[in-house]
Chains A and B, each alone.
Chain A
Amino acid sequence: MSRRFLCFSVFLLLASVPCFAEAPGVYAITGGTIHPASGPAIDNGAVIIRDGLIESVGSAVAIPLDATIIDVKGGHIYPGLIDAMTSLGFPSASAPRRRGGGGGGARTPPADALPETSPSFLAFREAKLTDDDVDAKRATGVLTIVTAPSFGIFNGQSVALNLGGGTMESRVVRNPATQQISFNPRPAWTYPDSLMGVISYIKQTLLDAQQYSAARTIYDKNPAGYKRPDESPSLEALGAVLRRDVPVVFVADSELMIRRVELIAREFNVRPVIAGARQGYKMGDELKSLGAPVLVSIKWPVAPTSREDREEQPLRVIRDRQLAPTTPAVLAKSGVLFALVSGAGKTSDFVPGIRKAIENGLSADDALRATTINPAKIIGIDRQLGSLDRGKIANIVITDKPIFDKEAKVKRIFIDGRESKVTVEDEKKKPGGAGTAGAGAATSGIDGSWSFVVKTTAGDASISATLHVESGQISGTFSGDRGSGSIGNGTFDGTTVEFSISGRGKEEAGDWLFHGTLHGSNMEGTVATTLGTFPFTGSKK
């Protein structure tokens, strides 16, 4: 009783004083509107949590005597959101990566020669989640993620994690959650360096997995008289995919890519999940008949900043950009099982991206399902997570307004029945952050005039550029050995810089993609060109 008394806290909208229990205890969350996701909203009910699990939910549940009462009067109670596809804990996909060797014989390299990832790659072992990553994610209401790297072709086996404290082992909800495949060509002169090569490579690897499984079956039954098959963790991992035990997330944004996925999935009889699906709005019925669930990335296409650039675009591109955010509404109408995921988007894009889907016709209820019970079903964790129901894991988010409202704030969160701190943005302001207002992390290091030298095989190319960063997006202009023009596709995350210039040199033409890191007033990295990839250095004037 005394504990109950001590911890009793009244939920005040702006000044809550939550208590953080050492161990999951017994809580009764009362006074708010409960949105169970598995059924209609319940006013003035209670959610009872005991030892990390939901004990009961409803309008007339008895409050256990040993429960700490958490009165969230006027608030809203949700299951923790699930972001079923992120790359949290892994570096960016666009970082240039190259394998040591180039040549190779006329034979297809085996799957295990993959440079970065492979089907046996375990996100569980390799993810490096920082406290900042986790804090930021939880502040959006996402308490469970499925993460895997976005680079490589076989991105490896993703893992579903609760974002509570503790070890990686204690966070795991499902491991492996999925096998993930991206259609990323490798750098030139490393097989496969074309999209068609990537497709052949995926098919060959799955054929190899079939053969491996057949060989192992025969050998394990009676090894006498047989040459021992080589061990292959990658082909072993793909065995689970071919047996349909583990679903395969195929990253495919365009209608054409989704159709290509369909062909591969049919040929090898795997369980496909389509991820990205930017052009899903064109194919609601088709996706329904395909029967594959869809992870719709909320990283919606962005219009070019300048008016001239927009007007130069063909109608097809403009239309596509404007219709992409209608994809969730179209899929909901067609009855496709889909979830909203951040995909390649930033943590801070997630909730605004969901709002954009709602503005484009998705109902708020469907949006909630698409971030709770649907992703849980797709990943196969719906018996544990995804709704406020008896027996499920107590991942709970409490907000002051309906969760996808523009002004809604996440006030309190429970993960595995333990209350975790919601990091308020004011506390996150980094010391000495001289960045522009609203931009958050230090972005000022990039702003200004730069001199770049690119060491190409045809000699050094000098380029001057003026760069400006706003909200992580780089814009600017360049001039020098490749003519002059504006800078596009620029991003900056605090250390990694990426932008491209298009122009014409003596030997070549086309886009040059800069990828570098910022060190004070210097930058270094590589430039991908049609002639190959070259090192560059930059210094601020």
Chain B
Amino acid sequence: MKIVKEGVVCRESGVGEKSAACDIRYSAQDYPSASDTRHPKRDTRSFDTRPPTPNVRFKTLLATAFLLAATTLSAQDIVIRDATILTITHGKIEHGSILIHGGKIAAVGANDRVTAPANATVIDAAGKFVMPGIIDTHSHTAVEGSVNEISLPNSGMVRIGDVLNNEDIDVYRQLVGGTTTALILHGSANPIGGQSQIVKWKWGHPVSEWPIADAPRTIKFALGENPKSSNFRPPPGIPAQYPQTRMGVEEVIRQSFTDAKDYLARWDDYDARKKRGENPIPPRRDLLMETMADILRGKIDVHSHCYRADEIMMLLNLSDEQGFKIRELQHVLEGYKVAKEIAAHGVGGGTFIDWWGFKAEAADAIPYNVALMTRAGVLTSVNSDSGELARHLNQDAAKAMKYGGLSEEEALKLCTLNGAKQLRLDHRLGSIDTGKDADLVIWTGHPLSAYSRVETTFVDGEIVFDRQRDLAARAQMATEKKDRLKKEADDEAKNKKSGRPGKSDDEAKPEVTNE
């Protein structure tokens, strides 16, 4: 549901007000602190209990500090001792231990059942809770430039994976909230958006190490108001972009698959003629058509933005007609109305727990959606669509116990295992089981309590956030910053004294631009 243009601001003005899910994106060049001051994060929920974002400048600083600290950690064996372990798949283990070896969970169980090598680092987690890293199946964090290629009804050739930005400070902030894996989606400006990217938040690592190697390829579809340009219009002089109606959205998707079938036929014909010993001119390779073809071949999973029951049914029917598979319906705010049909198609749903009414098409959203879909057999997750909400998805999961009475374990699955299944990565993510990736979060209390906070976050067995380390690094970072600014100011003063104004000391040359 997020619309971000030019990497600056997101707005969604369906009913003339800012969406709760709307937040501000930073590019690598931006200064988070300054931007935050200019565009405070908005939350129009009537029962907003969150404190205002505190001292962003400070956070930026500490995050930078941690970048240094994190890279020095090795993949040594670690054992977490005496914690309450929320395994997700096999209940809760009181006084339990987890052995991390080679980035994987090597053993999990009661303290006396887990033996660790003598040289393993021991983390005493007495009184603390451990859960698997949170999985956010709807993120727009860590994207350089716009998250929308807005210019075409189908921009399936573009790839979020090409523009990952491992310096986005929101990533670090999300690790502080326990989120370790994200599906970074293209925006919802067109019926078929770009290809999305599943990553781990491997803060401090080169961006090439962020994508999960065996994760499926994914693509964003979008239904409803956004892809028909209700919420953003071209300036004067640029014609309105097709489609302008829900009918048009459906037709763009249908036509794209029809075109892909033609494209495949052209290549089949070429291959056949080659086989016959002819020397045909090869057809044009079209990156868009190859994307569509790969969806038909089941090589790319579809994650579709949607709100209303009618458009959800449209897409389910269209997938039957054209023969493609939808992996997850995103937002799916009216999913409770057609939950049986969604379940029957084996499609998952990733939704907000309690965001509603922020525009006309969200008018029928209810907080019981999660529980109702779960009870109807829909594989359901809660996800963020927001760099801010991604910092506390555990709290959104907890609300599902209040709205609809999910059990503790069902609630925890909403932000862990269910997301892993929707991403088809549950063989390595989403629960604390031997052999899975050591993406773990140590909490000061039960993660479904609003009073708990994260002490340590692991990704692939490596500590990527640790509250104590973070606190320790702050003074050092502040000193370096102070020293650097002072030296810069001193140098400038020196240059001024020697008669060279400002940054240009080239007073003799004529002022002719090169541009």
Contacts and interface: CB of A to CB of B under 8 A. Distances in A.
A436 to B, nearest CB: 10
Interface string A459-498: 0000000000011100000000000010000000110000
A346 interface: yes
Nearest to B18: A509
Nearest to B492: A303
Contacts, number: 286
B275 interface: no
Given A348-B506, A509-B9, A92 B484 contact: no
Contacts of A510: 6, 8-9, 39
Q: Which of B169, B208, B506, B513 has the most CB of A within 10 A?
A: B513
Contacts of B501: 438, 470-471
A107 interface: yes
Contacts of A428: 510
A492 B281 CA distance: 53
A87 to B, nearest CB: 5
B145 A185 contact: yes
B233 interface: yes
A290 interface: no
A314 to B, nearest CB: 4
B338 interface: no
Interface string A285-322: 00000000000000000110001011111111111001
Contacts of B6: 188, 510, 530
Contact of B512 (A92, A132, A439): A132
B158 interface: yes
A317 B501 CA distance: 24
Contact of A192 (B149, B255, B282, B502): B149
B256 to A, nearest CB: 6
Given A194-B148, A218-B281, A351-B506, A440 B511 contact: yes
B497 interface: no
Given A196-B158, A348-B506, A108 B288 contact: yes
Interface stretch (B28-36, B329-337, B440-448): B28-36
Interface stretch (B160-168, B358-366, B369-377, B384-392): B160-168
A103 B235 CA distance: 13
Interface in A485-528: 485, 493-494, 502-504, 507-511
A365 interface: no
B259 interface: yes
A314 B8 contact: no
A133 interface: yes
Contacts of A363: none
B241 to A, nearest CB: 5
Contacts of A309: 34
A189 B234 contact: yes
Given A193-B151, A200-B159, A315 B512 contact: no
A261 B282 CA distance: 27
Interface stretch (B57-65, B69-77, B125-133, B297-305): B57-65
Contacts of B163: 194-196, 199, 260
A193 B515 contact: no
A256 B207 contact: yes
A315 B64 contact: yes
Nearest to B162: A199
A127 to B, nearest CB: 12
Contacts of B11: 507-509, 530
Contacts of B213: none
Given A104-B151, A318-B485, A348-B509, A470 B282 contact: no
A348 B506 CA distance: 7
A269 to B, nearest CB: 16
Interface string B264-285: 0000000000000001111111
Contact of A196 (B39, B63, B162, B240): B162
Nearest to B190: A106
B514 interface: yes
B321 interface: no
Interface in B221-267: 232-242, 252, 255-256, 259
B488 interface: yes
Interface string A133-144: 101110110000
Interface stretch (A24-32, A43-51, A201-209): A201-209
A240 interface: no
Interface stretch (A11-19, A60-68, A531-539): A531-539
Contact of A316 (B64, B144, B283, B515): B64
Interface string B46-68: 00000000000100110111010
Contacts of A200: 149, 157-159, 162, 287
Interface in A207-221: 207-208, 210-211, 214-215, 218-219
B89 interface: no
B515 A93 contact: yes
B508 A106 contact: no
B504 interface: yes
Interface string B6-24: 1011010100000000000
Given A107-B288, A192-B158, A510-B8, A319 B508 contact: no
B90 interface: no
B504 A348 contact: yes
Interface residues of B, number: 97
B234 A102 contact: yes
A196 B194 contact: yes
Q: Which of A106, A107, A132 has the most CB of B within 10 A?
A: A106
Given A318-B481, A470-B502, A493-B513, A102 B158 contact: no
Nearest to A310: B485
Contacts of A215: 281-282
Contacts of A439: 511
A137 B510 CA distance: 9
B87 interface: no
Contacts of A351: 506, 509
Interface in A367-401: none
Q: Which of A93, A347, A457, A503 has the most CB of B within 10 A?
A: A347
Nearest to B238: A102
A352 interface: yes
Given A189-B150, A352-B505, A312 B9 contact: no
A215 B149 CA distance: 31
A45 B512 CA distance: 35
A220 B123 CA distance: 71
A345 interface: yes
Given A256-B207, A471-B501, A342 B150 contact: no
A428 B255 CA distance: 63
Q: Which of A92, A101, A307, A509 has the most CB of B within 10 A?
A: A509
B144 A195 contact: yes
A422 B242 CA distance: 58
Contact of B286 (A86, A107, A256, A310): A107
B31 A314 contact: yes
A199 B159 CA distance: 9
A508 B60 CA distance: 25
Given A106-B252, A509-B39, A510-B39, A348 B515 contact: no
Interface string A94-106: 0000100111101
Nearest to A192: B149
B235 A532 contact: yes
B146 interface: yes
6 contacts: A133-B512, A197-B158, A199-B158, A214-B282, A347-B512, A532-B238
Given A98-B237, A207-B287, A457-B233, 4 more contacts: A135-B512, A191-B149, A351-B506, A534-B235
Q: Which 4 A-B pairs have the closest CB atoms?
A: A532-B235, A195-B145, A440-B511, A136-B512
Interface of B: 5-6, 8-9, 11, 13, 28, 31-34, 37-39, 57, 60-61, 63-65, 67, 144-155, 157-160, 162-167, 169, 186, 194, 206-208, 232-242, 252, 255-256, 259, 279-288, 477, 480-481, 484-485, 487-489, 501-515
